[in-house]
Amino acid sequence: MKFNEDLAAIHAYLCADGYVIKNPPSQKHKYYYIGLRNTNSVLLKDFQKRFFRFFGVSPIITKDGRAKLQNKRIYEILTKDYAYYSANWDFPKLKKALLKFWLRAYFDCDG
């Protein structure tokens, strides 16, 4: 993935308080979910805006105050080089100019 300020923030949001999951291999029904569990409306709208600018798809903000979408293509892009479970994720190699976007998004969610 080629990081810009939007993808840096998206990655951080997902590492801090998000999920990028698919169904177990034994299950027939296939699903690919990407979402942000944070309920702060400012963060949800920022996640939604950045997601749309980078991927061209806008996650929906649900009534319970979460953002989510189902998209296999985006799931595969996001998981090609990175994991998002807290025990497994790695900090991406970012240029210094992008680091502030990642840190802001991460600590706004998890701080």
Q: pLDDT by residue (tens digit) across 40-79? A: 999 999 999 999 999 999 999 999 989 999 999 999 999 8
Q: Please give the structure tokens belonging to residue 75.
A: 């799931």
The Cα–Cα gap between 104 and 65 comes to 20
Q: Please give the structure tokens belonging to residue 6.
A: 């939007």
Is the CATH number 3.40.50.1220 carried by domain 5-110? no
pLDDT for res 95: 92
